[in-house]
Structure 1
Amino acid sequence: MSCQHVRNHGSHGHHHHHHHDTAYLVSKNKRDPGVRITRIGLLANLCMAVGKGVGGYVFHSQALVADAYHALTDLVSDFMTLATVTWSLKPPSSKFPTGYGKVETLGALGVSSLLLCGGFLMGLNAAEVLLVQFFPDIADMAAHLGLLGHGHSHGHSHSHDVAHGPNINAAWLAAGSIVIKEWLYRATMKIAIERKSSVLASNAVHHRVDSLTSIVALLTIGGAHVFTDASWLDPVGGLLISLMVIRAGWGNTKTSLLELADVGVEQEMIDSVRKSAMKALATTPNGSEVEIRDIQGVKSGPNYLMDIEMAVPETWSVGHTRHIEELVRGRVGSRVRGIKRLKMRFTPNTEREITFAEEFIAADISPRSSPEPEMEDNVAEAATGTKLEVDGVRKRG
């Protein structure tokens, strides 16, 4: 599961739904190297978001402002994770029988919505700057029609800034961000290898992927100064970073929405549960008589709610199946990270075509098409009683 998370970082460019940090962010053991490096990373995100935001505004760099927003969403994601982790790990209650995990999913949806909106607005702003520079007549016309968000006069001031390009000092901020993120990557990965921690390894990859946007910012800011009449490179960098942010935002929004819609868990999790369950069965004398037929589950924030269907001899007693249930639950719960609930269903091994689908009530036997007999009787009795009461009133009248 965690390895899958690491691969996601590499393939999708960025992932903001990183509840994997929480084990270290909420730990009270400040001397632990994993806790220390994770909190240093959080502090670095805070400093970089503020530094690049102020620097981008002062030095007129679209790319740096976009990168600052990127760092800010990381920070918001970390704090939102901290705010929801306590809720998401609470035990189930009568009001929330499957637990509170979806609270974290809602938090992730909030962060990804920020990413989508912010990325779109940044891209729009960068596109507007490019329009003002390369197509001033169209920009003037759009400004008079009120299509440009900043107005006609402000559009000219933007054009003036773009013509001069970003201040070269903006490049130092971008370069500093790359250095810090690369150092965080190496320091975190070193501890991850020592601990054999896929959680920290995933966090390390997160730092390295973050530096990609800073590299884009550095190249575009530097290019605007190295090449003649290349001041347009900076807003192009801002546009590229905004597209990266939008892509990440869409990916995370899709993941959160699917989770809220109770999409099935990934195959890797099913395989892990199957492997642990089979090892548990191998430790008991009658385990060879048990057949694992199906495994399914849903994800609820950091929690996995899994179901296993097992076929057993029909002569087995309830006590016997109960022993198997406890054995399997204990083993899977201790070996597979994230399992919050493990539900087991036992069916006789003489019946072959049994699946979880049979748990759903078919449409042709729903209460609307054939009400329960006692319900019909109650309705008939109520109707008869009402009629007698009305007749009695009429007679007395």
Structure 2
Amino acid sequence: MAVQTRGHAGHGHGHHHHHHDNVYLTSSNKKDAGVRITRIGLFVNLAMAIGKFVGGYIFHSQALIADAYHALTDLVSDFMTLGTVAWSLKPPSERFPNGYGKVESLGALGVSSLLLFGGVFMGLDATQTLLSQFAPEAFEALEHAGLLFHGHSHSHDHGAEVLGPNINAIWLAAGSIVAKEWLYRATMKIAQERKSSVLASNAVHHRIDSLTSLVALATIGGAHIFTNAAWLDPVGGLIISLMVINAGWTNTKTALLELADTTVDEEIKDSVRKAATKTLSKSTTTQDIQIRDIQGLKSGQNYLVDIEVGVTGSMTVQQSREIEEILRTGVGAKVRGVRRVKVRFVPSEVEGVDFAEEFIPGDVSPRISPEPEEHEHEHEHEHEHQHSGEVHKRR
């Protein structure tokens, strides 16, 4: 534990405030919990992917095979999650001055993209099977044109699907529902506590897998109960693929927005504001200071926060340094996930000041502000003119 706690010393707080250490210990524990639940998910997904592929092949169930493909994409996502969660909590370095949080955002993008593309391919496969059953002429025309996704259909032996031991495939699907729903709840609980997009993304994978197994169970059951219901199986595969595409797109959008540096949500801003105000009110040296504005970026599970404070003009650099330390420690101890706090001081009496003024205005550019070389050339030309004028007068 000591090793993980030490990582926080680099953030300028926590290393000499022993009464706050429990906060960092819980965040380290949460990290371990996140890694642990992901490892459990990894083993469950591995077992399920193998079980469903074998079961789907033996029982000729396309819904089960679609489900197995999905369990396989979940397996890849577990490996990516494990890697990115561990990386994102590393302290900042010279090369990564804002920390490694965006590595997790990239991981979330990778995981959700896998889900999105996996859903599209599963949908194409199921659509082909339906085409081969209900529009064989169109299916054959597409096959001759070479436009089919796999170039094969699962409709090869649906007699076995109606008559065969499909009830065994149902047990596989039912077991999957129970295991995946438990994994979803356990992973989402940790993801919400730590506001981790990659863990939330992984949790949604588990929930989708639970729902897809439910669809597989219904379609396998339907094909087993009704006569001539072979079409139910690819319809189940198609429904599963649409659910997977929807989840994949939602998570992809979230990860892209995080990578594009959209601001933190209002809930976090409010938490930071409350923590900062409370911290200042406790200190005797900070009575005349007001919190003016809060801004921040989400970088994986890490929040990089900027606080603007209004102060009197007579404040010394030493006093401002103390206030900065007080705020950093207070906010870092109370708001989970805050990894960096920057404080910006503005005069209390000046109104309408905000973070936008930190940006260089568009009308200030190197072309408008003259370069020193141009000045020197102008002076040289003036000097030459004066010199030639003096020579002319002498003549």
TM-score by length of 1: 0.78
Give the aligned partner of residue 140 of structure 1. 140
Q: 1:61 to 1:382 in 2, by over 3 A?
A: farther
State the 1:378 CA deviation.
6.6
Q: Distance in 1 between matches of 2:63 and 2:212?
A: 9
Task: Give 1:84-233 correspondences, 5 Å limit.
Answer: 84-151=84-151, 154-155=152-153, 158-162=154-158, 164-165=160-161, 168=166, 169-182=168-181, 188=186, 198=193, 210-233=209-232
The answer to which of 332-341 and 99-108 deviates more is 99-108
Q: 1:89 to 1:289 in 2, by over 3 A?
A: same
Q: Distance in 1 between matches of 2:99 and 2:38?
A: 27
Q: 1:43 to 1:98 in 2, by over 3 A?
A: same
Cα deviation digits, residues 126-167 of structure 1 (max 9, x gap): 00000111111211222222222344xx44xx3333465375
Task: Give 1:352-371 correspondences, 5 Å limit.
Answer: 352-371=351-370
For residue 307 of structure 1, give the secondary structure of its aligned residue in structure 2. Answer: strand
Task: Give 1:1-397 correspondences, 5 Å limit.
Answer: 22-26=31-35, 35=36, 39-151=39-151, 154-155=152-153, 158-162=154-158, 164-165=160-161, 168=166, 169-182=168-181, 188=186, 198=193, 210-372=209-371, 374-377=372-375
Give the aligned partner of residue 17 of structure 1. none
Give the RMSD, CA atoms, in angstroms: 3.1
**Paired AA for residue 359 in structure 1:** E
Give the aligned partner of residue 393 of structure 2. none
The answer to which of 279-288 and 255-264 deviates more is 279-288
Q: Distance in 1 between matches of 2:257 and 2:184?
A: 30
**Paired AA for residue 140 in structure 2:** D
Cα deviation digits, residues 23-58 of structure 1 (max 9, x gap): 3254xxxxxxxx5x6643432222112212332233
The aligned length equals 345
Q: Is the 8 A contact 2:38 2:81 kept in 1?
A: no
Q: Distance in 1 between matches of 2:76 and 2:30?
A: 13
Q: Distance in 2 between matches of 1:60 and 1:379?
A: 84
State the 1:266 CA deviation.
1.3
Q: Distance in 2 between matches of 1:341 and 1:75?
A: 33
**Paired AA for residue 242 in structure 1:** S
Q: Is the 8 A contact 1:126 1:236 kept in 2?
A: yes
**Paired AA for residue 342 in structure 1:** V
For residue 283 of structure 2, give the secondary structure of its aligned residue in structure 1. Answer: coil
State the 1:305 CA deviation.
0.9
Cα deviation digits, residues 244-282 of structure 1 (max 9, x gap): 111111112111211111111111111111111111111
Q: Is the 8 A contact 1:133 1:162 kept in 2?
A: no
For residue 229 of structure 1, give the secondary structure of its aligned residue in structure 2. Answer: coil
Give the aligned partner of residue 14 of structure 1. none
**Paired AA for residue 67 in structure 1:** D
Q: Distance in 2 between matches of 1:342 and 1:47?
A: 44
State the 1:309 CA deviation.
0.8
Q: 1:290 to 1:162 in 2, by over 3 A?
A: farther
State the 1:63 CA deviation.
1.6
State the 1:80 CA deviation.
1.1
**Paired AA for residue 148 in structure 2:** L
State the 1:381 CA deviation.
9.8
Give the aligned partner of residue 20 of structure 2. none
TM-score by length of 2: 0.78
Consecutive unaligned residues of structure 1, counting only runs of 5 or more, are 1-19, 27-34, 384-397
Q: Is the 8 A contact 2:109 2:256 kept in 1?
A: yes
**Paired AA for residue 229 in structure 2:** A
Q: Is the 8 A contact 2:208 2:243 kept in 1?
A: no
Q: 1:239 to 1:371 in 2, by over 3 A?
A: farther
Q: Distance in 2 between matches of 1:102 and 1:38?
A: 19
**Paired AA for residue 218 in structure 1:** L
Q: Distance in 2 between matches of 1:304 and 1:379?
A: 50
Q: 1:375 to 1:264 in 2, by over 3 A?
A: farther
For residue 43 of structure 1, give the secondary structure of its aligned residue in structure 2. Answer: helix
Q: Distance in 1 between matches of 2:72 and 2:291?
A: 47
State the 1:102 CA deviation.
1.5
Q: Distance in 2 between matches of 1:381 and 1:118?
A: 68
For residue 165 of structure 1, give the secondary structure of its aligned residue in structure 2. Answer: helix
Identity %: 62
Consecutive unaligned residues of structure 2, counting only runs of 5 or more, are 1-28, 382-395
Q: 1:379 to 1:271 in 2, by over 3 A?
A: farther
Q: Distance in 2 between matches of 1:61 and 1:290?
A: 68
**Paired AA for residue 90 in structure 1:** K
Q: Is the 8 A contact 2:261 2:297 kept in 1?
A: yes
Q: 1:288 to 1:161 in 2, by over 3 A?
A: farther
For residue 254 of structure 1, give the secondary structure of its aligned residue in structure 2. Answer: helix
Q: 1:205 to 1:246 in 2, by over 3 A?
A: closer
For residue 363 of structure 1, give the secondary structure of its aligned residue in structure 2. Answer: coil
Q: Distance in 1 between matches of 2:43 and 2:251?
A: 23
Cα deviation digits, residues 49-75 of structure 1 (max 9, x gap): 221233223322222222223322332
Q: Distance in 1 between matches of 2:299 and 2:203?
A: 25
Give the aligned partner of residue 3 of structure 1. none
Q: Is the 8 A contact 1:21 1:38 kept in 2?
A: no
